[in-house]
Amino acid sequence: MSSQTYSISDLARELDITTRAIRFYEEQGLLAPERRGQERIYSPGTRSA
C-alpha cells in the first residue's frame, strides 16, 4: 500500500490550480482531506477526483 500524501501546496502544483481553489472545493464538499492538526493531508485518490 502506498503511503504517499500531498499537502495543499503539493496538490495545487500537481493540478495547476491555486490553493484557494482547493479550499473552495472543500467548502463545497467536493474534497474532504484528512487533517493532521491544522495541516490538510490529501491522498493520491484526490488527484483523480
The answer as to whether 2 is a domain residue is no
Residue type, 9: S
Number of domains making up the chain: 1
Q: Which of 41, 36, 34, 32 is nearest to 8 (CA)?
A: 41
Q: Please check whether residue 42 is in contact with residue 6, taking contact to mean a CB–CB distance below 8 angstroms.
A: yes
Q: Can you read off the three cell numbers belonging to residue 48?
A: 483523480
Q: Which domain holds residue 40?
A: 8-48
Half-sphere exposure of 21 (CA within 13 A, CB side): 8
Q: What is the pLDDT of residue 1?
A: 37
At 1-49, the pLDDT tens digits run 357 899 999 999 999 999 999 999 999 999 999 999 999 999 988 877 6
The answer as to whether 3 is a domain residue is no
Q: What is the pLDDT of residue 46?
A: 81
Global model pTM greater than 0.85 = no
d(CA 39, CA 44): 16
